[in-house]
Amino acid sequence: MDWTAWCGVAAPCLAVAAILAAIVLAPSFHWTQNWLSDLGGTVVPPVRPLAGTPLTAAIFNGSLMISGLLAGMFARRLLVQERLLPTRVGAALLLAAAVLLAGVGAFPEPAGPVHYALSVGFFLLSFLAMIALGGAAWISGKRRLALLTGALGLVALPSALAVSLARGLPEFTAVASLAAWTGALAVAALRARGPLFLVRTRSR
């Protein structure tokens, strides 16, 4: 059993499920007024609606730390096993993004600038990883995975750029798109049962 690939499946599922659970349990979370990070800390009204409680903070921050650890294990698997250069670059970026994701949970919103820098870094490195691994999928003949990567990237990037307009809603859309991509990548790795990206030569 390729347990590291299963880590790649579990990480996005845990993150999205925990975020949704925290939102359900939040007393007054507002999709267009709150950041998702408000679930992991406390913001005094009238700055933004009060969303964070000790319970939502434990769920939100704890899940991000665990998800970052799981995603990091999967990214390390790609880094060690793959030989195609774009894949190794993408895996290194994905590993760094996973570390930053865990950092977002370890240094929640009350940490101020540190939390903000970790959040921005996570999104930036995740998008760069999508570009590198999407390119690797294309040149290795995995066109469906490459097209899926491109499609999810076209959803995630504009959503991330629109967070200043509607805060939580586009932020969650970006997170869900990145989670779907990570899960799809991990499922492809499970099916490959070996190196995921190999350059195939055409036989005559």
Whole-number Å distance between alpha carbons of 64 and 98: 9
Whole-number Å distance between alpha carbons of 133 and 135: 5
Whole-number Å distance between alpha carbons of 40 and 105: 8
Can you tell me the mean pLDDT for 5-28?
95
**What are the tens digits of pLDDT across the range 80-122?**
988 888 999 999 999 999 999 999 999 998 888 999 999 999 9
With a CB cutoff of 8 Å and minimum separation 6, the contacts of 104 are 37, 64, 68, 115, 118, 119, 122
With a CB cutoff of 8 Å and minimum separation 6, the contacts of 192 are none
Sketch the domain layout of the chain as residue ranges: 3-192
Does 123 have pLDDT greater than 80? yes
With bands split at pLDDT 50, 70 and 90, how would you rate the model's confidence at 192? confident
**What are the tens digits of pLDDT across the range 131-141?**
999 999 999 99
